[in-house]
């Protein structure tokens, strides 16, 4: 039969006792433990210390006010807690926020009124782990996709694309482009010399052909974040 896990209260008592001993070089008193973990009754503290003793986490000398001694089992517990805490801290520290700059249309280009994306508040952001990115996070921005012209490239309406800002592209790159008539779109880019072909990834839609002078690339898609339906 497996051992019943420690209660939250018992875990707090162990953690406080270990920290107190590390800092002061001696065990805490019953009252100090109760104050630290929010237990007003010394009998309740004693009850939980008894349970910890039964489970092998500590030894007690009932005739001494600071008669607690933590066992190796308690040390192993503290190490596991510290490791878990460090893992959570590292995971949080490795999260980066990428600003959600606005919407981009994966369909027919739509009028924007200017050459920037600005439908979201500056505090809007997408959180990602650094390990998910193949590029340095500096300068990256996110756009929410509207439309279904890129569905064969696994980009659906409502998905979020992580963009690397750049003003040039290679043939086949999926890019956000601004056209001189104040429209934006998300398409595969192809430079055919005398014209630029903006190719959808949807067999029901036609390519868009524009003069090279009319196209301004704003960024290349690095990653697609699928949104649950």
- Could you tell me which of 192, 188, 110 has the C-alpha nearest to residue 153? 188
**Chain center to CA of 209:** 39
**Residue 42 to residue 48: CA distance in whole angstroms:** 10
Bridge partners of 177? Answer: 185, 217
Cβ(125)–Cβ(86) below 8 Å: no
Catalytic residue among 2, 35, 41, 149: 149
Cβ(92)–Cβ(103) below 8 Å: no
Cβ(99)–Cβ(125) below 8 Å: yes
**Chain center to CA of 142:** 14
Cβ(118)–Cβ(54) below 8 Å: no
Cβ(55)–Cβ(3) below 8 Å: yes
187 is catalytic: yes
Q: Which two tokens stand for residue 12?
A: 């707090």
- Could you tell me which of 208, 170, 168, 167 has the C-alpha nearest to residue 186? 208
Annotated catalytic residues are 149, 187
């Amino acid at each position: 039969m497996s051992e019943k896990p420690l209660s939250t209260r018992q875990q707090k008592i162990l953690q406080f006792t270990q920290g107190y001993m590390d800092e002061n070089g001696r065990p805490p008193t019953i009252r100090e433990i109760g104050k630290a973990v929010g237990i007003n009754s010394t009998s309740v503290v004693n009850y939980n210390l008894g349970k910890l003793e039964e489970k092998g986490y500590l030894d007690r000398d009932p005739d001494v006010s600071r008669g607690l001694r933590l066992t190796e089992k308690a040390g192993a517990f503290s190490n596991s807690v510290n490791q878990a805490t460090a893992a959570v801290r590292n995971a949080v520290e490795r999260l980066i926020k990428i600003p959600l700059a606005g919407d981009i249309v994966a369909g027919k280009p739509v009028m924007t009124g200017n050459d920037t994306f600005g439908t979201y508040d500056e505090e809007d952001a997408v959180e990602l782990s650094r390990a998910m990115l193949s590029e340095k996070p500096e300068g990256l921005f996110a756009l929410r996709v509207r439309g279904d012209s890129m569905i064969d490239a696994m980009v659906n309406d409502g998905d979020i694309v992580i963009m690397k800002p750049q003003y040039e592209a290679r043939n086949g790159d999926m890019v956000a482009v601004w056209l001189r008539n104040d429209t934006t779109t998300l398409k595969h880019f192809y430079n055919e010399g005398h014209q630029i072909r903006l190719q959808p990834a949807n067999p029901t839609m036609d390519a868009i052909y524009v003069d090279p002078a009319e196209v301004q690339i704003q960024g290349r898609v690095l990653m697609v974040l699928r949104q649950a339906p």
